Every structure is written in C-alpha cells, then in structure tokens.
Amino acid sequence: MHNVRNITSDILLIGGSDRRLSLFENVFPVPRGVSYNAYLVRDEKTVLLDTADSAVGAHFYENLEHALQGRPLDYIVINHMEPDHCSTLGAVLRTHPKAQVVASAKAISMIGQFFDADVTNRCVTVKEGDTLSTGRHTLTFVMAPMVHWPEVMVTYDAAEKVLFSADAFGTFGALNGNIFADEVNFKTEWLPDARRYYTNIVGKYGAQVQTLLKKAAGLDIQYLCPLHGPIWREDAAWFVEKYQRWSSYTPEDKTAAIFCGSIYGNTENAAELLAARLAEKGVRDVRLYDVSHTHVSELVAEAFRCSHLVFASATYNGEIYTPMDNFLRDLKSHGLRNRTVGLIENGTWAPVSGKQMAELLGAMKDMTILEGTVSLKSSAKEPQREALEALADALAAGILA
C-alpha cells in the first residue's frame, strides 16, 4: 500500500524506511534503522529527485506511481549516485523510458558503471547554476563535489524555497510517521545519530562541506530535504550550525572523552582514576569508552564532539593495542583535527604504545599533544597517581578556561 506524504502542496516524499538493516554500508550499526528519501515535484512537468535503495524498492515504486496520478514522469534528477539512492534507478529508467535524466557529468558517467543502461539520448548534463523550469517551479543546480562523492550536486527550488541536499544534513534512523524534524525530539533522540552519520560518512570532507555551506548561505531556504532522516522546516539554522562546527572540526562541547584499550583492566583502572580526578576538578560530562566494546563509529563521533581527548592503551606485541590502533587510524582517515590530547601507556616489560600513539596523532593536523605521557608498568602505583593528577590538571586548565 502506498505511503506518500506531502511536504508542500506539490512536493511529495515518496521514499521508504528500512528497519531490518543491521549495518549501513555493511559497516555502521543502525539499531534505529535508516530512511531512504526520494522526492517528487508535481508541476506542469513532473520531476523525481533521486530514487531509493532496493531494500525499500517495492514501496518506492508503488509510491512513485501513486504520486504521479497517471501522469508521465518527465525528469529524473540525480543528486547522488551512491547505490543506497540509485539501486532502483535502473527499473525507473525502464518503466519511464521517456523521462529525461538530469545530472552532473560525473553522475551520468556513473550510470553506465552501475547499470546496463544507455542514457546518451535522454540525459541533460548540468553544471553550477544551471536551471530547469517545470512550470511554477524553477530548479537550480548547485555542485557539491566530495560531499561525499565526486558527482554530488544539490538542487534548490526557488518557488517553495526547498534545498534538496543529497547526503548533506542526513542522519541515521528510520522515519516513524513524523517526517519533519520539529515533530520529533531531534536534539535529544536524533542528534547522536546525526553526528555519527556526519562524522563517519562525510567527516573527511570538511573543506568541501564548508564550500557547500557558503553556497547555501546565499539561498533563501525554508525546507531542507536530505536523502536520509527528517526534513527541516523550522529552526534549520540550528542544524546548519552543527554542520558548521563539524565541518570546521570545531568541538561542540568543552569536555574530555577518555578512550581506553585495556587487556586485563589495569589500563582501564588508570583511565578511571583520571576520570575521577577530572570530575573532582569540576569537569562535567566526562566520558570513558572501552575501545574494544564500543563501535568505532560511535568513538569517532565522540572525538568530533569533545574538545579534549585522552587515549589510554596497553602495549600489544610491541605496538599499540589493536582496537586502539584501528580507532586512531580511523580518526586520521576521517580528518579529525584541532584537539588537545593526553596519553596513557601501559606495558609489563616495554611500554611503547604512548610513543607510537603520539606519532599517529602527530601526523594529524592541529593536534596539541600534552607533555608528560603517563607510563604504567603493569599497573598504576603512587608515581602514576601523581602523573595522572598532573594530566588531569593540564586537561582541566584547558577545559575550564
């Protein structure tokens, strides 16, 4: 049964939600599911903006045909060619052979990579600032390369002041009837997944997101329509400010996140001692994570959120403890920068993880590594307690300044 929702009188949401998916991109846990948003503009001409993942294909096709009300589909605008938004495109092209494909040159070349479909005679290649009039609506195409694929563009509708923003402003989480951000508790229930989505999917491309934000600042936007998650029609500036912070690698909160890689619990004990000292000094909302038990996507999101980070790692086979090593390399690949960092190392006969962690972090931009790595041999003793106190003082001085 179709489930088509009106955003405005002639712009409709026709995608679907998947609550069965366990790993988005076969990597990221999505316990709350994910939505695949597609949109239809019904004007003198009809325009489909993006398609959907095959997981919701049956619902998407039914929604599209119902929304068309027996009319032909005139245009298919492709903002993003990633399979979670285009795996149903091949079927739409076959079902609507007269529909013209509107996309960037890179997106059009990707169609042939994903499908045995020749769109040469039915494509409209657009570039920055090109427009398409459908009657009352005029669509303007804004290029957004590497947010987060090279072919990406976003589409602005001047009539309704809508920005169809591709993966920008998206979030993990299935839609549960309420399709607008102002209808849900976004700041409490959705923000962690929005942050985790941005930092892990788009986080590496902060400079490109900054470029898109500057372009978007010149548009009068009433609605933000992403390809995942709720649609924004109120207080969108609040969410845009989050993107401004995330993409400029500016911490959201002045606090400390302690990431611990412990084998038998002794490194964790030192991390707990540090957390207690920070709390005693007045630092609020201190977080302590076991990197072996918390999914790395959540760790990355927290590293983006917090101003001060502590990495506490056992030495394992003469190197950084494996889960910690993987986490640090993930942070580097996502481009994290502009953080103050403290280090704790442990090793029964050769504690060397601190030096190696410092080398990895030193290869990242704008990272301030505090002097005085706390070094344990097997477990914390009185000298390490004093060193942890000194580290807590240094961290608190920056956080509470």
Token output for 223: 């609605």
| Predicted pLDDT at 328 | 98
Per-residue b or e along 126-140, where b marks 16 or more CB atoms closer than 10 Å to that residue's CB: beeebebebeebebb
User: How far apart are the C-alpha atoms of 40 and 155, rounded to whole Å?
Assistant: 13
Find the DSSP H helices in 281-362: 296-305, 322-333, 353-362
pLDDT of residue 103: 97
Q: pLDDT tens digit string along 349-386?
A: 999 999 999 999 999 999 999 999 999 999 999 999 99
pLDDT for 298-315, tens place per residue? Answer: 999 999 999 999 999 999
The pLDDT of residue 222 is: 96
Beta strands 16-18 and 34-36, pairing class: antiparallel
- pLDDT tens profile 388-401: 999 999 999 999 99
pLDDT in tens, 261-298: 999 999 999 999 999 999 999 999 999 999 999 999 99
* 3-state SS, residue 167: coil
Examine the pLDDT at 117 and tell me if it is beyond 90: no
CATH topology of domain 256-396: Rossmann fold (3.40.50)
Closest CA to 72 of 108, 91, 39, 47: 47
The token duo for 183 is: 């209808």
Q: What is the pLDDT of residue 299?
A: 98
Q: What is the DSSP letter of 10?
A: S
Q: Residue 118 pLDDT > 90, yes or no?
A: no
pLDDT over threshold 90, residue 1: no
The residues, any chain, with a CB within 8 Å of residue 201's CB and separated by 6 or more, are 25, 148, 167, 170
Superfamily of domain 5-247 in CATH is Ribonuclease Z/Hydroxyacylglutathione hydrolase-like (3.60.15.10)
Looking at residues 87-108, what average pLDDT do you find?
96
Query: How many residues belong to the chain?
Result: 401
* 199-231 pLDDT, tens digit each: 999 999 999 999 999 999 999 999 999 999 999
DSSP state letter for 71: P
Report the candidate in 368, 350, 349 with the shortest Cα–Cα distance to residue 308. 368
Are 307 and 251 within 8 A, CB to CB? yes
DSSP 176: B
Tell me the whole-structure pTM to 2 decimals.
Answer: 0.95
Give the pLDDT score at 120. Answer: 87
What's the CA gap between 313 and 261, in Å, rounded? Answer: 5
DSSP for 96-134, written as a single string: -TTPEEEE-HHHHHHHHHHSS---GGGEEE--TT-EEE-
Does the structure show a pLDDT above 90 at 97? Answer: yes
Task: Please state, in angstroms and rounded to a whole number, the distance separating the CA atoms of residues 152 and 358.
Answer: 36
Place of tokens 């909302």: 285
Angle of helix 353-362 versus helix 322-333 axis, rounded to 10 = 10
Q: Which residue has the tokens 């477990």?
A: 379
**Of 263, 261, 256, 258, residue with least CA distance to 326:** 261
Domain ranges of the chain: 5-247, 256-396
